[in-house]
Amino acid sequence: MILCPHCGKENLPQATRCVHCGEDLEELFRIEGMEDNSALQEEPDISVADLLESFRNDSSPKDEETRSADSTGQAYVSDSGAESNAEMPAEEEEQAPEWLARIRKRAQQEEDAAGELTRKGNSLDAARSEDHRGRVDEEFANWIGRIRENARRENLLMPKPAINSAASEEGVPEWLRKVRELQPEAEDGEQFAEEPAEEPAVEEVEPEEEQGEAAAQDQAQETESVVEQTSPEEILGDTEPAAEAVSELEPEPEAESAGEKAQPADEEDSDSGDAEELPESAAAPQFAPVLEELGLAADGAALELDEKPASSEELSADLLLLRRQKENAQILMNLIGEEGRGIPPAKTQRVSGRGLYRLILGAFLLLVLAAVLVFVPEAKPKQIENPAPAVALKDVLDRLASGDKVLVVLEYQAATSPELEQIAAPVLRELETRGAELQFLTTHPNGLWLADALMRAAEIPTRETAFLAGGRLGVLAAALNSEGNSAVIPAGIEELQKYELILLLEDSQTDIQNWIEQAGPWLSASKLGVLASSQNEALLLPYYDAGQLAGFAAGTLQGRVLAQALDQAPLTSAPSRAFQAGLLVMIAVILLGILSKAEADSSARHSKEPEA
Amino acid sequence: MNPMDIVLGVIGIALSVMIFSYLLGDNFFFRAALYILVGVSSGYAAAVLVTKVILPRLVEPLSQNGTDAFWLGLVPLALCVLLVLMLVPRTVKAGTLPLAFLAGTGAAVAIAGISRGTLAPQLLSVVNRFSPELLRANAGVNWGGIVEALFILLGVISVLFYFHHHLSRKSAGTQRPLLVEGISSVGQIFLGISLGMLFVGFFSAALTALIARMLWLKEFILALLAG
């Protein structure tokens, strides 16, 4: 198996292209016997300048094809560490082994072989023409530098087996020693574990996928500026420009392959030694902004430090937590922490000036009402034709005789008590005048004290108000209380069928439906009468039309009409002028709103037309 | 006007002004008034429930040892204990039994009531509009009754069309036939009229409450000035 110089993965010996990264494998020219040349492998520290110079000097006019093949072979053998063949003098060709002579001979004779072998040489020669020679040389040097850089970084990333002897030489734990090895500058007391996400450790880079000569020429335009600014020595070195050039390369997709890739570079690292690692690590924080800007820092390239593990093997594994893994873990922890919490209210963007309009309109309405209440005298009540539901309710009230039981159910809030009292007070006075036996019941706690206020407003004797608990269920229990001995029904409240009229004082649609749906089917249609606020009129009409209500009066206007029909004076606290003024203000506001909306829509339409 | 009336009146004025301050936007005074309202209402409701429900319905029967009321009182007591156990995190599930009992009973009662008290009577009302007795008047045809019945029928069908096809169109994203769209549009008109009537009712109720409060302020100030 041969190793790809680009990705470092294994390929078959006869492979001409890497099956993993698609890189051309010039190992085609590697001949067994040359691989075992230990002298070549023992010189990993290649001098690129010398190598390029050898390429140039090697192109003598005679025997062009042979030199091309030789130089090409030199170049690609140097990829695997046998670059010293480039300095082989031409006269030594005669002393070449027999196998090499046969190959050269066959390459000259066979056109196919010549096409395959010499094409690369010719292409290299063409690339080394006057127009492209300098660029190709720089690209080649850059490529070598990136391979070296990559191998050195991968070697740093690869977990090393723990050395027991070094663990406690100076009382420094093994994990801390590895941390210092990765980040030497952080030895000055910086806490790694506290801020792991902000310390991009060692950047993993790998050569670009298309590292062949053709690919290098294709991408020469993109990297020309960087290559021109960096000499091969700078690239091979650990200076900041070299790191910037390297950082523009693609990040390592899988950190697991770091160990495999680091194998060929072990010897280089051993040569370079710690002297090269220290400046590189010192430059890492300087590269962090550049890498973050390029989006390379979050792609699993950076290392994260974790808490102190138990064993040396676990130490190395924990130290190599990827940033993305840690971020995912943090997201999961946040999700678990948010479980069961309410969704925060969505922030709505306030329209500027909206509060001002609201203030102006509200103040205007208040001023109008106050002016009407203070300066405008109350008008005499007009004789208005009674609406049909109110007339029906009046007929029911007229049929009541002395001693008939009437159950008054209070289900309204304090906010609507003025309206309900205006409607109900004349009716209660009429019932009291007729001698009806009134009983008060409420299903709302507020109804207990509102009932007292109502009785005072109606100027009738105060009675005790019963409280029926349970809402809808309580109403159903009261309706089914045929024997009148239910423990749920408060004392004093009899079977509902025994009441001649059940008068509901309502401001809630739900409460009205509770009585109509739960108690209505068990009662005759003529026993349910409703006095409601004006907001419930629309709901009550269908029930009245269906014959489920004996009659109703909704709102102060109908209440005033009903009071007139019953020959009762309405309450004095019913300023109809102010009510009319308030309605006029609201109508004006609605019309203004319609006009302004139409104007805004028209403007928006006109503004869109020129764009179209 | 006695001093207590003056104090209560001043407090009432202050609370009213705090509520009116909402015209300036959501502020501390408005929220404080709301908190006072909610707190007082909750406290009052709790006191009423204790005195009107818990004591007479739970404690008193349990004090009658050996009677039927005692044994019946054990059932709500057990349910209350299960509800109280919800305060302990390890026994939260124990409270699901009384809650399930309450929710199931409420749903059953509501469904039965709606079916028997609203759906069936309203549908019968629409059908009865077409009864011959209502459509005949003085040996002739009651055209007014016929038009009214047809109008009501149109309103019912179009509103049902609107709700059904509006929702299905939103889910499917397809274009409905023209007839269906036309009937749905008519339903929208009926709905708009109904909602407009509801809005007028709500506004009238709120306006009445506002006028009553301003009238009370006026009378209080006049009484205060009169001494």
Taking alpha carbons only, the member of B23, B25, B27, B46 closest to residue B35 is B27
Tell me: pLDDT of A487 over 70.
yes
Query: What's the CA gap between A441 and A421, in Å, rounded?
Result: 16
pLDDT in tens, A519-569: 988 888 778 999 999 888 888 988 998 889 999 999 888 888 888 888 887
In a domain, B140, yes or no: no
User: What integer pLDDT is reported at residue A408 of this predicted model?
Assistant: 94
Tell me: pLDDT of A224 over 50.
no
pLDDT in tens, B33-65: 999 999 999 999 999 999 988 998 889 888 888
Q: Do B23 and A358 touch (CB under 8 A)?
A: yes
Confidence of residue A237 (pLDDT cuts 50, 70, 90): very low
Query: What's the CA gap between B34 and A393, in Å, rounded?
Result: 38
Tell me: pLDDT of A160 over 80.
no
User: What integer pLDDT is reported at residue A207 of this predicted model?
Assistant: 42
CA dihedral over A471, A477, A480, A483, signed as positive or negative: negative
Q: Is B133 exposed, middle or buried (0-12, 13-18, 19+ CB in 10 A)?
A: exposed
Chain A residues touching B208 at Cβ < 8 A: 416, 418-419, 422, 533-534, 555-556, 579
pLDDT in tens, B142-154: 888 888 889 999 9
Chain A residues touching B49 at Cβ < 8 A: 445, 469
Q: Is A269:A284 a contact under the CB 8 Å cutoff?
A: no
Residues 6+ apart with CB under 8 A from A529: A393, A396, A397, A501, A502, A503, A504, A549, A550, A551, A552
Tell me: pLDDT of A321 over 70.
no
Mean pLDDT of chain A: 69
pLDDT in tens, A64-103: 444 444 444 444 444 444 444 444 555 555 566 778 888 7
Q: What is the mean pLDDT of residues A7-15?
A: 79
Range of the domain at B217: 148-227
Query: What's the CA gap between A497 and A501, in Å, rounded?
Result: 9
* CATH 1.10.10 at A388-574, yes or no: no
Q: Do A582 and B207 touch (CB under 8 A)?
A: yes
User: What integer pLDDT is reported at residue A439 of this predicted model?
Assistant: 93
Query: What's the CA gap between A319 and A179, in Å, rounded?
Result: 8
Taking alpha carbons only, the member of A444, A574, A576 closest to residue A506 is A444
User: What integer pLDDT is reported at residue A65 of this predicted model?
Assistant: 47
Angle formed by the axes of helices A388-399 and A555-565, nearest 10°: 40
Taking alpha carbons only, the member of B51, B50, B79, B75 closest to residue B62 is B75
Q: What is the mean pLDDT of residues A302-326?
A: 54
Report the 3 state secondary structure along A329-353.
HHHHHHHHHHCCCCCCCCCCCCCCC
pLDDT in tens, A399-436: 998 889 999 999 998 888 888 998 999 999 999 998 99
Q: Do A416 and B121 touch (CB under 8 A)?
A: no
User: What integer pLDDT is reported at residue A297 of this predicted model?
Assistant: 47
In a domain, B21, yes or no: no
Query: What's the CA gap between A12 and A16, in Å, rounded?
Result: 9
pLDDT in tens, A226-236: 444 444 444 44
Query: What's the CA gap between A149 and A163, in Å, rounded?
Result: 26
Nearest-Cα distance to chain B for A592, in Å, is 17
What are the extents of the domains in chain A?
A: 144-335, 388-574
Q: Comparing A57-71, A91-105, A257-271, A441-455, which segment has the lowest mean pLDDT?
A: A257-271
Tell me: pLDDT of B104 over 90.
yes
Euclidean distance between the first and the last CA atom of chain A, given in angstroms as a whole number: 65
For an interface test with B, which of A444, A522, A534, A557 has the most B Cβ atoms less than 10 Å from its Cβ? A534
Tell me: pLDDT of A146 over 50.
yes
Chain B residues touching A507 at Cβ < 8 A: 205
Q: Do A445 and B116 touch (CB under 8 A)?
A: no
Chain B residues touching A356 at Cβ < 8 A: none
Taking alpha carbons only, the member of A207, A206, A205 closest to residue A216 is A207
User: What integer pLDDT is reported at residue A467 of this predicted model?
Assistant: 92
Tell me: pLDDT of A573 over 70.
no
CA dihedral over A50, A55, A58, A59, signed as positive or negative: negative
What is the domain count for chain B? 1
Nearest-Cα distance to chain A for B222, in Å, is 11
- CB count in 10 Å sphere of residue A25: 24
Residues 6+ apart with CB under 8 A from A216: A136, A139, A140, A143, A210
Cα separation values, A189 from A183, A193, A194, A309, Å: 12, 12, 12, 20
A358 touching B, CB under 8 A? Answer: yes
User: What integer pLDDT is reported at residue A55 of this predicted model?
Assistant: 61
Nearest-Cα distance to chain A for B207, in Å, is 7
Q: What is the mean pLDDT of residues B167-192?
A: 79
A209 or A92: which leads in pLDDT: A92
Q: Do B208 and A415 touch (CB under 8 A)?
A: no
Comparing alpha-carbon positions, the chain A residue that sits nearest to B120 is A546
Taking alpha carbons only, the member of A589, A363, A361, A575 closest to residue B20 is A363
Tell me: pLDDT of A380 over 80.
no
Q: Do B109 and A521 touch (CB under 8 A)?
A: no
Nearest-Cα distance to chain B for A507, in Å, is 9
Q: Please give the share of chain A, as a percent, with pLDDT higher than 90.
A: 14
Query: What's the CA gap between A293 and A185, in Å, rounded?
Result: 22
Query: What's the CA gap between A105 and A91, in Å, rounded?
Result: 16
**What is the biggest distance separating any 2 CA atoms in chain B, rounded to whole angstroms?**
77
Q: Is B163:B183 a contact under the CB 8 Å cutoff?
A: no
Least CB-CB distance to A538: which of B109, B110, B194? Answer: B194
Query: What's the CA gap between A451 and A445, in Å, rounded?
Result: 11
User: What integer pLDDT is reported at residue B169 of this predicted model?
Assistant: 65
Chain A residues touching B113 at Cβ < 8 A: 472, 476, 513-514, 517-518
Tell me: pLDDT of A166 over 70.
no
How would DSSP label each residue in A372-409?
HHHHSPPPPPP--PPPHHHHHHHHHHHH--TT-EEEEE
Q: Do A472 and B109 touch (CB under 8 A)?
A: yes
User: What integer pLDDT is reported at residue A151 of this predicted model?
Assistant: 82
In a domain, B168, yes or no: yes
User: What integer pLDDT is reported at residue B29 of this predicted model?
Assistant: 93
A575 touching B, CB under 8 A? Answer: yes
3-state SS, residue B75 = helix
Chain A residues touching B45 at Cβ < 8 A: 445-446
Q: Is A249:A149 a contact under the CB 8 Å cutoff?
A: no
Mean pLDDT of chain B: 87
Least CB-CB distance to B208: which of A448, A488, A579? Answer: A579
In a domain, B73, yes or no: no
For an interface test with A, which of B62, B67, B204 has the most A Cβ atoms less than 10 Å from its Cβ? B204
In a domain, B141, yes or no: no
Least CB-CB distance to B121: which of A469, A546, A555? Answer: A546
In a domain, B90, yes or no: no
Q: Is B214:B17 a contact under the CB 8 Å cutoff?
A: no
- CB count in 10 Å sphere of residue A558: 22
Alpha helices in chain B (DSSP H): 3-20, 28-49, 60-63, 68-84, 96-114, 120-128, 132-135, 143-172, 178-226
Confidence of residue A334 (pLDDT cuts 50, 70, 90): confident
Comparing alpha-carbon positions, the chain A residue that sits nearest to B213 is A418
Residues 6+ apart with CB under 8 A from A50: A86, A87
Q: Do A516 and B207 touch (CB under 8 A)?
A: no
